[in-house]
Amino acid sequence: MSSVKIELRQDQIDKIHTICDSFGNQSGELINVLHKCQETFGYLPAEVQEVIAEKMEMSAAKVYGVVTFYSFFTMIPKGKHPISICTGTACYVRGAETVLNEFKKQLEIEVGETDVNGVFSLSCLRCVGACGLAPVVQVGDKTYGRVAPDDVKAIIKDYID
């Protein structure tokens, strides 16, 4: 669904154009263009998608279709400290879901959402290759292993200034 309305500055529009150009404005490169734009802006608001659609001469509906198909793309800005809970097989059987539920409860947000202050966002990911530490939680670049629901409060506290 529609994200928060923003207005793109000219330099941001130029940046999107540069990214599209770097992939030759080829429709087959749309996913790469979207990755690069998400890297740049942190997320893919409707305004960015419209600029991409116009530049690459495809319908905005198509761009939106691709953005909403792949779970990696998001139209909601990530928080300052993005929290990812691994729900891969190993983490899942070792209680990732109860950890996830505790995060939801503490932060009062659902998966894919960002809290009202823009500090934390919550997402799930599949296997970070640290199954020995399951269940695993990542906050930004930092990884926490063998997380129990009781640890959640302390992890959040680490990031509140």
Partner 1 sequence: MSLVKLTIDGNKVEVPAGTTIYKAAKQMDIDIPILCYMDLKDLNIENKPGGCRICSVEVEGRRNLAPSCSTDVTEGMVVKTNTMRVINARRTVMELILSDHPKDCLSCAKSGNCDLQDMAVKLGIREIPGQEYAEMSTYRLDTSPSIIRDLDKCIMCRRCETMCNDFQTVGALHAVNRGFNAVVAPAFEMNLEHSPCTYCGQCVAVCPTGALTEVDHTAKVIRALNDPTKTVVVQTAPAVRAALGEEFGMEPGTRVTGQMVTALKQLGFDYVFDTDFAADLTIMEEGTELLGRLKKHLEGDENVKLPILTSCCPGWVNFFEYNFPDLKDVPSTARSPQQMFGAIAKTYFADKIKVDRKDMVVISIMPCLAKKYECQREEFSVDGNPDVDFSISTRELAHLIKQANMDLNKLKEDEFDAPLGESSGAAVIFGATGGVIEAATRTAYELHTGKTLDKIDFKQLRGMEGIRSATVDFDGLDINIGIAHGLGNARKLLDEVRAGKSKYHAIEVMACPGGCIGGGGQPLHHGDASILQARIKAIYDEDEGKTIRKSHENPYIVKLYDEFLGEPLSEKAHELLHTHYFDKRKKIFQV
The contact set with partner 1 (CB under 8 A) reads: 1-2, 5, 46-47, 49-50, 53, 58-65, 68-69, 71
CB of 119 to partner 1, least distance (A): 26
**Placement of tokens 């000219």 in the chain:** 10
Shorter beta-carbon distance to partner 1: residue 30 or 147: 30
CB of 113 to partner 1, least distance (A): 16
The enclosing H or E element of 89 equals helix 89-93
Q: Residue 13, exposed/middle/buried by CB under 10 A (0-12, 13-18, 19+)?
A: middle
Residue 8 vs 128, nearer CB to partner 1? 8
**Nearest one of 104, 102, 79 to 160, comparing CA atoms:** 79
Nearest distance, CB of residue 27 and partner 1, angstroms: 12
DSSP-assigned letter for residue 39? H
57/150 with CB nearer partner 1: 57
Spacing of C-alpha 50 from chain mean position: 19
- Residue (58 or 127) nearer to partner 1, CB: 58
Q: In the complex, what is the shortest distance from the CB of residue 1 to partner 1, in angstroms, rounded to a whole number?
A: 6
Contacts from 108-116 at CB under 8 Å and sequence distance 24+?
112/74, 112/76, 113/76, 114/76, 114/77, 114/78, 114/79, 115/79
